[in-house]
Structure 1
Amino acid sequence: MAHIPDGILSAPVLLGGGVLAAAGVGLALRRMDDRAIVRVAILSAVFFTASLLSFPLGPSSVHLMLSGLMGLMLGPGAFVAVLVGLVLQVLLFGIGGLTTLGVNTLNIAAPGVLLGLLAAPRIGRATPGQRAVLAGAVGGGAVLLTGAMVAASLWLSASEYVPVARVLWLAYAPLAAIEAAVTAVVVGFLARVEPAALSPDGPR
Structure 2
Amino acid sequence: MHIVDGALSNPVVIAGAVAAAGGIALGLRSLTMEKIPVAGVLSATFFVASLIHVPIGPSSVHLILNGLAGLILGWAAFPALFVGLVLQAVFFGFGGVTVLGINTFNIAMPAVLAGLICGPLLRRGGARAALWGGIGGALAIALTTLFVAVSLALSGTQFGVAAQLVFVAHLPVMLVEGLLTAAAVSLALKVRPDLFTALEPTP
Query: TM-score normalised to the size of structure 1?
Result: 0.92
Q: Could you tell me which residue of structure 1 aligns to residue 102 of structure 2?
A: 103
| Distance in 1, Cα, partners of 2:184 & 2:116 | 17
Once the two structures are superposed, what CA deviation does each residue of 1:38-93 show, in whole Å capped at 9, x if it has no partner? 11111111110110023578997521100110001111111111110000001001
% identical equivalent positions: 44
| Distance in 2, Cα, partners of 1:111 & 1:144 | 8
Alignment of 1:48-59 (within 5 A): 48-55=47-54
Q: Could you tell me which residue of structure 2 aligns to residue 168 of structure 1?
A: 166
Q: Could you tell me which residue of structure 1 aligns to residue 93 of structure 2?
A: 94
Q: Aligned AA for 1:142? A: A
- Give 1:190 shift: 0.7
- Contact 2:134/2:177 (CA < 8 Å) preserved in 1? yes
Distance 1:164 1:200, change over 3 A: farther
Distance 1:200 1:91, change over 3 A: farther
| Distance in 1, Cα, partners of 2:106 & 2:99 | 10
Q: Over the residues paired in the alignment, what is the CA RMSD in angstroms?
A: 2.0
Once the two structures are superposed, what CA deviation does each residue of 1:157-197 show, in whole Å capped at 9, x if it has no partner? 11110011111210110000000000000001111111222
Distance 1:32 1:61, change over 3 A: closer
- Contact 2:27/2:75 (CA < 8 Å) preserved in 1? yes
| Distance in 1, Cα, partners of 2:138 & 2:81 | 17
What secondary structure is seen at the aligned counterpart in 2 of 1:34? coil
Moved more, 31-40 or 163-172: 31-40
Q: Could you tell me which residue of structure 1 aligns to residue 120 of structure 2?
A: 121
- Contact 1:86/1:101 (CA < 8 Å) preserved in 2? yes
- Contact 2:47/2:84 (CA < 8 Å) preserved in 1? yes
Alignment of 1:174-193 (within 5 A): 174-193=172-191
How many residues align? The count is 201
Q: Aligned AA for 1:5? A: V
- What 5-or-longer segments of structure 1 have no aligned partner? none
Per residue, is there more helix in 1 or in 2?
1
Q: Could you tell me which residue of structure 1 aligns to residue 29 of structure 2?
A: 30
Distance 1:97 1:197, change over 3 A: same
- Contact 1:48/1:89 (CA < 8 Å) preserved in 2? yes
